[in-house]
Amino acid sequence: SESYPNLKRDSRFKEVTADDVKFFRGLLGEGSAVLDGVTQKTGEEDFEAYNADWMRKYRGQCRLVLKPETTEHVSKILKYCNDNLLAVTPQGGNTGLVGGSVPVFDEIVLSLSKLNTVRSFDDVSGVLVADAGVILQQADDYVAQHNHIFPLDLGAKGTCQIGANVATNAGGLRLLRYGSMHGNILGLEVVLPDGTVMDDLGTLRKNNTGYDLKQLFIGAEGTIGVITAISILCPQRSPAVNVAYFGLESYEKVQEAFKEAKKQLSEILSAFELMDHQSQDLYRQASGAKLPLENDYPFYCLIETSGSNTDHDSEKLNNFLEHVMGEEIVQDGVVAQDETQLQSLWACREGISEAGQHFGGVYKYDLSIPLGQLYDLVIETRERFQKNGLMGDSDDFPVKEVIGYGHMGDSNLHLNVATRRYDKEVEKAIEPWVYEWVSKRNGSISAEHGLGLAKKEFIGYSRSETMIALMKGVKGLYDPNGIMNPYKYI
């Protein structure tokens, strides 16, 4: 994991003492709601799941984890922390990819995992109201019983939490169809750093009465408050879902396929994902799975349709397939025939995240780039590593592969440098070059993962000084003592 040579613990923050632990134990009970390494002999390994991030790249030194069970608990914890200048890192499923979910030094981890009840679901409006700590998969399973779908899906769904999904404004695999959290969230319950509860848990779509304050917490990455519950609009679940996986001979053809998919599949298109050959090969090596197509192609794409009428969708999909195969836009393809096959096609896409870090470590760049230029960056990055001698087949080289994949339908590229070990040289070779590259094309240096600790230095490549100053003003207003997720983001 990385050390933080450029960061110093902020001496304004108090260290956790036995008295503090006593207060929290009194509030939460003696049971499992407190993981305490301050007054008890608790080993490092017990804290590993809270201190180390998913990539095993960032590691904090927290010695106290609190697991509130109610909003009132959260409120009392934050008020106490604010009064006593104790720094806090809110944590969901700890699957974040920018080092935002783990402490940097000894911040208290406030885990939302025990705040995990569905409060209500209205099957007329499709509005789900649920605690922040509900796991995404469970939220989707819950609304599925009522023929609805949670409007977000991503590879970490078995672990990540819906409150954190809002806190990161997660994008995921179906944003193209259902839109972002900014549109789907109807209300939030948030505890501010001083313990005040902002109850804006409305369930209606329209409410033009002044500033839409809840929007600020969407994507704030836990820097101005803790989300304790969300109200979200869930669409009807489509009974007819089809998934196809294609091999294509160039990035130009991928763009043509995207154009055709929009034209011919129009309202039933629910995902259009890009995977380059290198990403699929790495997935094959890491998982041992067999790839869906007989031959290798430079590019692959995964297309999903979701509609209400099986016959209608099949007819559309067949016409589309006939066209793209006939015109040689795609070279080969397969359409899932059953649920198992559908899952295994999706696994080729969702499994890339794991594959990226499987061989040691990964440097992740999550970028918005205009579609026409999106893949140029992958080619140039690969060339850069080939030239500078950092990439090669043997273990002598830190870089194993450069892969490009992502949410093509949203102009969102995931450029990953899969390495055999974390090595500062690799990072130096690509940063800030990659951000300059993106900035020159008016892209975003973080399309969906956020800034966290990993990208905080680079915010200026995507936001003007005026905007950064306004953000700092917001931070100061909501969190004057700076206790919320310090050292990150802002």
Query: Which residues, including other chains, have CB under 8 Å from residue 149's CB and lie 6 or more apart?
Result: 140, 143, 178, 234, 235, 236, 237, 238
CA angle 147, 152, 155 (to 5 degrees): 110
* Residue reference for tokens 């011919």: 264
- Residue 100 within binding range of ligand FAD, rule CB under 6 A: yes
Q: Total number of residues binding ligand FAD (CB under 6 A)?
A: 37
How far is it between the farthest Cα atoms of the chain?
A: 73
Identify the bridge partners of residue 368 per DSSP, sorted by sequence position: 412, 444
Structure tokens at 477: 């207003």
- Residue 168 within binding range of ligand MLT, rule CB under 6 A: no
Binding mask 303-342 for ligand MLT (x = CB under 6 A): ----------------------------------------
CA-based radius of gyration for the chain? 23
Q: Position 436: which residue type?
A: E
Do residues 257 and 248 touch, judged by C-beta distance below 8 A? yes
d(CA 2, CA 105): 13
CB of 49 to ligand FAD, least distance (A): 11
Q: Which of 174, 253, 414, 455 binds ligand MLT (CB under 6 A)?
A: 414
- Residue 353 within binding range of ligand MLT, rule CB under 6 A: yes
H or E element: which one contains 400?
A: strand 399-407
Q: Cβ closer to ligand MLT: 214 or 349?
A: 349
Q: Which of 51, 71, 101, 419 binds ligand FAD (CB under 6 A)?
A: 101
- Residue 222 within binding range of ligand FAD, rule CB under 6 A: yes
Query: Which residues, including other chains, have CB under 8 Å from residue 148's CB and lie 6 or more apart?
Result: 121, 123, 126, 128, 234, 235, 236, 237
Q: Which of 37, 60, 68, 96 binds ligand FAD (CB under 6 A)?
A: 96
- Residue 174 within binding range of ligand MLT, rule CB under 6 A: no
Handedness of CA 301, 219, 463, 422 (dihedral sign): negative
Q: Cβ closer to ligand MLT: 305 or 357?
A: 357
- Residue 280 within binding range of ligand MLT, rule CB under 6 A: no
- Residue 400 within binding range of ligand MLT, rule CB under 6 A: no
Q: Cβ closer to ligand FAD: 89 or 278?
A: 89
Q: Which of 221, 276, 304, 401 binds ligand FAD (CB under 6 A)?
A: 221
Judged by beta carbon distances under 5 to 8 A according to partner kind, the member of ligand FAD, ligand MLT, none in contact with residue 414 is ligand MLT
Q: Cβ closer to ligand FAD: 333 or 351?
A: 351
Identify the bridge partners of residue 243 per DSSP, sorted by sequence position: 304
Peptide bond into 432 cis (omega under 30): yes
Site of interaction with ligand FAD (CB under 6 A): 54, 89-97, 100-101, 112, 132, 154-156, 160-161, 163-165, 167-168, 170-173, 221-222, 226-227, 353, 448-449, 452, 485
Site of interaction with ligand MLT (CB under 6 A): 155, 352-353, 364, 414
